[in-house]
Structures are given as structure tokens and as C-alpha cells.
Amino acid sequence: MQISSKDLRPYLLVAPQTLTFLFALVLPIMAIVIISFWDFNGFTSVPGFTFNNYLGIFSSPVYLKTYLNTFKFAFLVWLVCVLISYPVAYYLAFRIKSSKWQTIWFLICTVPFLTSNIIRMISWIPFLGREGLINKALIGLHLTNQPVEMFLFSDFSVVLAMVHLYALFMVAPIFNSMMRIDRALISAAEDLGASSFNIQKRIIMPLAAPGVAIGTIFVVTLVMGEFATMRLMSGGKASSVGYLIKNQIDSLQYPMAAANAVVLLAITLLIVFGILRIVDIRKQI
């Protein structure tokens, strides 16, 4: 049977992407899944098949607390990111009329991302510390006598740094969604006497929802896997699943780390599927 080159073309076109995913994503994840069933004898990993690593995760109040802590931060960071990004995106998309200025302002939003994320994180420390700028200013203004300690090495500083790191991942998709909204819809609503609150509620918000959904996927997946920000900004006083995994890897406990990675991946994928069921993001891609 003769196969024409035309029949092969689609397969050739998808081949690079498929191979990349196979070798860079599917195979490593399969390796992690397999190792998560291995045994650990206290010194090294031993091939085997045991559910103990998973039982350990689900039966321990310590791990449960670590997972809850991770969800807490994912939720807080997500919430603050939405609250900040929506107005910013709205302003960019609707209040700035010239597309040249839209581009310029959007680029300005990305400026913090031109530096390394570690540097951005560390730069908060001299700002928030006991001897930091904010405390110096508060004491100088006689608003407080004692330096406020909760600015740094607290939940507050973790959320602050993560929002700083990830807000752009929310701004960009919301802005993108809003730019696709047909301006005639808004003019029509205005002509029919809709209040700006109603326009916001009944036109812009529903149409921008897919952007929020995409942003949510980005922010939630990023925060769920966080460990560096969590460690640095909480001063090691709070933990996330990512940090737990890192500690286990550092102690060579690969099977436990792999089991945690699988559970974390499953939970994150569930969240992503949940979001995709609620909002149809097809239009945006």
C-alpha cells in the first residue's frame, strides 16, 4: 500500500511537540510515579511496591497541615492577585484609549520581571525588616515606638512576595480577554441606559472570566509548587508541600518525595480541571 507524503504530513507536524512532551513530561512523571511506590530503608531507595509512602501522607496530621498550609497560601495569593489584577487590566484595556500607550503601560507592568525572581524576593528583606525602611518610617512618624515585627518572616511577607512574583500572570490573561470584548456592546449598553456598575457586572465580568480562569491556572499551579519564596520570606517558619519535598530530596528520601509530588500533581490537576469545567477558555487560545 502506498502512503503519500500528504497523509504523513500531520503526523510529522505533531511529531516534535509529541516527542518533547513524551520525553520531557510523560516519561519523567512516570518515573516519579514508579519511584513513589519504592521502599526506603533509611539510607537508600529500594525498588519495590509499597503503599506506605501514600499511607504516610494521608494518615499524618503533620502532612495534612502542610497541605492545608499550601492551599491557604494558594488561595490568599490568588485572591490578592485577582483583586489587584482585575482593576489594572480593566484600566489598561478600557481607560487607556491609545494602543501605543496601552503597549507602553503593559510593558511597564512587566518591568519587575526583568530581574531574577530571587533578587526580587530578597529585595523585600531590607524593606520590611525590623531595621527596614517601613519600620524606620513608622518610628520616624511616631506612629509606633517598637518596630513592627510582623512585616517580615510572617504569612504576610510570604503572600506579599508571591503576589509580587505572580501578579503579572493574572494581569496578562485578563487584559487579553478584555481586549477581545467588542466595544460596540458597551456603547449599546450605555445607549440603553445601563449604569457603569451594570456594564461591569453583566458584560465585562462575564466576558473577562476566561482570562481570570487562565490567570488562576497560572497562579495556583505556581503557588502550589512553591518552596523558595515560602522558605525565604517566612524565614523557614512556614512550610509548603514543595518545601517538604525539597527537604525529603535533600535527605535522599526519594520515594516519599515522589509520593508527595504525585499527590501534589493530582490535586493541582484536579483544580485545573475544576476551573476548566466552570469556564470555557476555548475562545481565548
Partner 1 sequence: MSRINRRRFIRAGLATGAAIAATRCSAPVAQAPSGTPNNPAQGPEVITNQIKDVVIRTVGTGAAQSNDIRIQAEKDLGFKIQMRALSTAEVIQIGITQPKQYDIFDGEFFSLPLVIPSGNLQAIDVSRLSQFDAITPIFTTGELAPGAKVNTSQGTAPRKVMFLKDQNSTEFATDPTNWATIIPYQYGADTLGYRPDLVGRKIESWAELFNPEFRGKTSLLDIPSIGIMDAAMIIEAQGLMTFEDKGSMTREELDKVTRILIEQKQAGQFRAFWKSFDESVNFMSSGEVIVQSMWSPAVTAVKARGLPCIYAPLKEGYRGWGGGLGLSKNLSGIQLDAAYEYLNWVLDGWLGGFLSRQGYYSATPSTARKFMKPEEWDFWYEGKTAAIDIVDPYGKTIDAAGAVRDGGNFDERVSNIVCWNSFMNEQVYLVYKWTEFVVA
Which C-beta is closer to partner 1: that of 65 or that of 202? Answer: 65
Rounded to a whole number of angstroms, the minimum distance from the CB of residue 218 to partner 1 is 6
Binder of partner 1 out of 149, 187, 198, 201 (CB under 8 A): 149
Determine, following the binding rule CB under 8 A, whether residue 277 of this chain makes contact with partner 1: yes
In the three-class reduction of DSSP (H, G, I as helix; E, B as strand; rest coil), residue 61 is classed as helix
Per-residue burial over 73-100, b if 16 or more Cβ lie within 10 Å, else e, is bbebbbebbbeebbebbbebbbeeeeee
* 40 strand-pairing partners: 45
**Backbone dihedral region of 141: left (phi > 0), alpha (psi from -120 to 50 degrees) or beta?**
alpha
Residue span binding partner 1 (CB under 8 A) among the ranges 61-69, 84-92, 179-187, 197-205: 61-69
Which C-beta is closer to partner 1: that of 186 or that of 225? Answer: 225
Determine, following the binding rule CB under 8 A, whether residue 274 of this chain makes contact with partner 1: no
Rounded to a whole number of angstroms, the minimum distance from the CB of residue 100 to partner 1 is 28
Cα–Cα distances in angstroms (integers) from residue 149 to residues 144, 182, 188, in the given order: 12, 49, 53
Closest CA to 75 of 140, 158, 18: 158
Total site size for partner 1, rule CB under 8 A: 60
Q: Show the 3-state SS of 13-59.
A: HHHHHHHHHHHHHHHHHHHHHHHCCCEECCCCEECCCCCHHHHHHHH
Within 6-35, which residues bind partner 1 (CB under 8 A)? Answer: 21, 25
Determine, following the binding rule CB under 8 A, whether residue 285 of this chain makes contact with partner 1: yes
Cα 15 to Cα 48: distance, rounded to the nearest angstrom? 34
Identity (one letter) of the amino acid at 103? T
Instruction: Kindly state the cell numbers that stand for 87.
Output: 482593576
Within 87-126, which residues bind partner 1 (CB under 8 A)? Answer: 116-118, 125-126
Binder of partner 1 out of 131, 140, 145, 197 (CB under 8 A): 131
Q: Give the residues lining the site for partner 1 (CB under 8 A).
A: 21, 25, 40, 42-44, 60, 62-63, 65-66, 69, 116-118, 125-126, 129-131, 149, 152-153, 165, 169, 214, 217-218, 221-222, 225, 228, 231-232, 234-239, 243-244, 247-253, 256, 268-269, 272-273, 276-277, 280-282, 285
